[in-house]
Structure 1
């Protein structure tokens, strides 16, 4: 692990928060759930030892509110891979060494994280130290196949779905002006998920940790087990108590699993 101090990495559109001082370890790129934003992981700064938490900001929300959200997985991960590969090179007049990194994704972010790692592999880029996934069945598994697509739902049906999933404050769901902001990126994110057809490629050679929640109505513990077939590396599964957002509501538990996977802490 690199221990020399260096200037914090600059904020960019994809990574809106400057790197936390003292974060000289691997970078952890964190991809949020459908409709979510980089702020979901901001409280993680400085909570996983020297790991540099790099929350990913998709367009169409917060600091990128005026940008059009993606509706296709391939375009999203291609642009995100450009940003990650550039971000991995330490700053300096002649560039620097490529930083070790890991990727974490929750819900839709888990599928995006998986496809991001595969896109980087296709380009001949460095494998991550680890892939962490939660709140989403493995690629090729579709526990929501019997549900109507989000694009066919009315706003009222989408709001009811958000209430069932949890994680969105009621005051937001009851405010029409707020709904006008949050529903378009949520619908776009589900278009990414519902149109996703994973390519037939060899499994990753990357350790994978899957975090499940025993009360997750969308993806229970059985749904997370399928991730094992997508790696030839070590696979570990853990179960938290709670619903779909247990990994964020119990961030300290999630962070301990990440630290344990990265260096046995």
Structure 2
């Protein structure tokens, strides 16, 4: 049996698997939570064990103050992930989660725990900077941005009580995203697979391709039909990419039909 810790506030282990040859650690988008990846975890189990990161300030951590920088998020998550490195790790981050995964990968590599592969979804490379100010908008302005990006439950948009519950974390996440600047010269040596929707207003295909500048290892770019939350409608196709890449690392993975 694995002797890794399972009591971290940061890690959700929805489908424990002692037979898994590799673990896929998933990082959600701004305003997102670990449960966003429950279906992906189910689809990959038991050959790949999915772990999802739960940031402070949401769901069962909603009473904790949300963190306002990618570096803070990365430090907390990296410390929680390290005990799970008794097996090879792959990382998957969507949108803000891609930035956290990239920052964590650099941190883990410095500690001798380089990820086997890094999947970076729906986010432009750090070398492609846009000046954005969603964090400075009022509540209505932030909700307007969510509508523009799509992918958010209509119940959240219509329920004032729900909106007030999630807005503090959303505002903190946008602050983290819009003020993040990686350490100059941060370049990994692990493989990177960039994934992007072809109509994403936040990330162009060329901006996603620029992730190739941030690793000396192999790079691949996968373009899907859809916008910023292309993943919601493209889970089987995305899982096929993940499954194929993990298989090349020597892991057998399950078919995607059970994903939500």
Query: Normalized against structure 1, the TM-score is what?
Result: 0.88
Q: 1:202 to 1:173 in 2, by over 3 A?
A: closer
SS in 2 for 1:229: helix
Aligned match of 1:53: 50
Aligned match of 2:149: 165
| Match among 158, 171, 174 for residue 190 of structure 1 | 174
SS in 2 for 1:46: helix
Aligned match of 1:113: 101
SS in 2 for 1:54: strand
Structure 1 runs, 4 residues or longer, greater than 4 Å off: 5-9
Cα distance in 2 for residues equivalent to 1:169 and 1:105:
20
Cα distance in 2 for residues equivalent to 1:250 and 1:14:
26
Q: 1:20·1:52 contact (CA, 8 Å) conserved in 2?
A: yes
Structure 1 unaligned segments of length 5 or more: list them: 89-97
Q: 2:11·2:52 contact (CA, 8 Å) conserved in 1?
A: yes
CA RMSD of aligned residues (A): 1.8
Q: 2:30·2:170 contact (CA, 8 Å) conserved in 1?
A: yes
Aligned match of 1:137: 124
Q: For 1:78-89, what aligned pairs fall within 5 Å after superposition?
A: 78-88=75-85
Q: 1:22 to 1:249 in 2, by over 3 A?
A: farther
| Match among 240, 244, 247 for residue 228 of structure 2 | 244
Q: 1:213·1:243 contact (CA, 8 Å) conserved in 2?
A: yes
CA deviation digits over 1:214-258, x for unaligned, max 9? 121111212201100001111000111111111233111111101
Structure whose residues are more often helix by fraction: 2
| Match among 200, 212, 222 for residue 206 of structure 2 | 222
Whether 2:21 is the aligned partner of 1:34: answer no
SS in 2 for 1:47: helix
Aligned match of 1:92: none
CA deviation digits over 1:142-186, x for unaligned, max 9? 24x2x4x12320111111110000111222112110110111111
Q: 1:110 to 1:23 in 2, by over 3 A?
A: farther
CA shift at 1:211, angstroms?
0.6
Q: 2:135·2:142 contact (CA, 8 Å) conserved in 1?
A: no
CA shift at 1:80, angstroms?
1.3
CA shift at 1:132, angstroms?
0.4
Q: For 1:66-77, what aligned pairs fall within 5 Å after superposition?
A: 66-77=63-74
Structure 2 unaligned segments of length 5 or more: list them: 253-260
User: Size of the alignment, in residue pairs?
Assistant: 248
Cα distance in 2 for residues equivalent to 1:86 and 1:36:
24
Cα distance in 1 for residues equivalent to 2:219 and 2:152:
31
